[in-house]
């Protein structure tokens, strides 16, 4: 139940030639306080309810619990979420021994492109593609809960 991930800005669209899968994601927050975010998500044809704890000092690790729910239930829960629903397309790219998830944001966050890589342990090494830019791990400005309230278009 511990999520370990690093997050990066993406510098080019070369990843679009490398992706394995893509899914539209719509998500909202029932609670966006840093100590515990409660997220509702529709990814493709599936719904999810996710609870995340506060990140550790490095921003690399935090508790995460996720459960698949009926997509109709997710649609209903999205109706009562805090304002600022996120709409994005997620591309999954196999690179080295890892999967890199690239999120291309739409709507009020259009123009923002972030990559995440999940790791087994905090100091795990991994291959970095040339389109992976500045690391923003631990920078709360790039958390989806923050972006939902402070859209990229206003930065």
Q: Which SS3 state, helix, strand or coil, does residue 145 take?
A: helix
Is the distance from CB of 43 to CB of 23 less than 8 angstroms?
Answer: yes
Residue 138 CB neighbour total at 10 angstroms: 15
Query: Which tokens in the block code for residue 61?
Result: 């690790």
Q: Which member of 29, 91, 142, 143 is catalytic? A: 29
Annotated catalytic residue 146: no
**Catalytic positions:** 29
């Amino acid at each position: 139940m511990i999520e370990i991930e690093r997050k990066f800005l993406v510098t080019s669209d070369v990843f679009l030639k490398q992706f394995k899968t893509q899914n539209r994601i719509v998500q909202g927050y029932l609670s966006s306080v840093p100590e515990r975010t409660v997220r509702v998500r529709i990814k493709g044809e599936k719904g999810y309810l996710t609870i995340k704890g506060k990140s550790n000092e490095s921003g690399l690790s935090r508790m995460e619990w996720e459960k698949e729910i009926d997509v109709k239930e997710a649609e209903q829960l999205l109706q009562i979420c805090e304002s600022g629903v996120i709409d994005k397309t997620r591309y999954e790219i196999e690179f080295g021994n890892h999967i890199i998830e690239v999120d291309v944001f739409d709507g009020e966050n259009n123009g923002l492109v972030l990559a995440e890589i999940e790791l087994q342990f905090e100091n795990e090494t991994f291959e970095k593609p040339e389109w992976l830019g500045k690391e923003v791990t631990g920078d709360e400005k790039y958390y989806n809960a923050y972006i939902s309230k402070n859209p990229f278009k206003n930065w």
